[in-house]
Amino acid sequence: MTASHTPPPGHIPPEQSLIEYPSDFPIKVMGPMHDDFAKTIVEVVRQHDPEFHEGRLEKRPSSSGNYLGLTVIVRATSREQLDALYQALTSHPMVKIVL
């Protein structure tokens, strides 16, 4: 008798993924216009992509000047890595939106 393996909910088999790994993957992050916002997001991203550097970061202030939009381009190596990074970003208190 063999135990059957049931994938976790939301699991996408690699052959059905729309993303090829490894690849460069842009993530947009919106937060307050704050001196430490970009630096803080870089630190979070580096926990999941140790080779990430500020040359792969683009900043765009909102028209009102209250928010800062960041585009970070990470080197995605797996779905699990991206999921963990999205979780870390969305749960960070400075982050308003992650796309």
Task: Tell me the helix, strand and coil percentages in the chain, rounded to 5.
Answer: 30, 25, 40
The rounded distance, in Å, linking the Cα atoms of 50 and 5 is 32
Mean pLDDT of 59-86: 97
Residue 24 lies in a domain: yes
Residue 12 lies in a domain: no
Residue 58 lies in a domain: yes
Query: Domain range for residue 45?
Result: 20-98
pLDDT at 94 over 60: yes
pLDDT at 28 over 90: yes
pLDDT at 87 over 90: yes
The CATH number assigned to the domain holding 90 equals: 3.30.70.260
CA-closest candidate to residue 41, choices 6, 76, 14, 73: 73
How many separate domains does the chain show?
Answer: 1
pLDDT confidence of 89, banded at 50, 70, 90? very high
Residue 2 lies in a domain: no
pLDDT at 1 over 60: no
Residue 3 lies in a domain: no
Question: What is the pTM for the complete model shown?
Answer: 0.82
Encode pLDDT of 41-58 as tens digits: 999 999 999 999 999 999
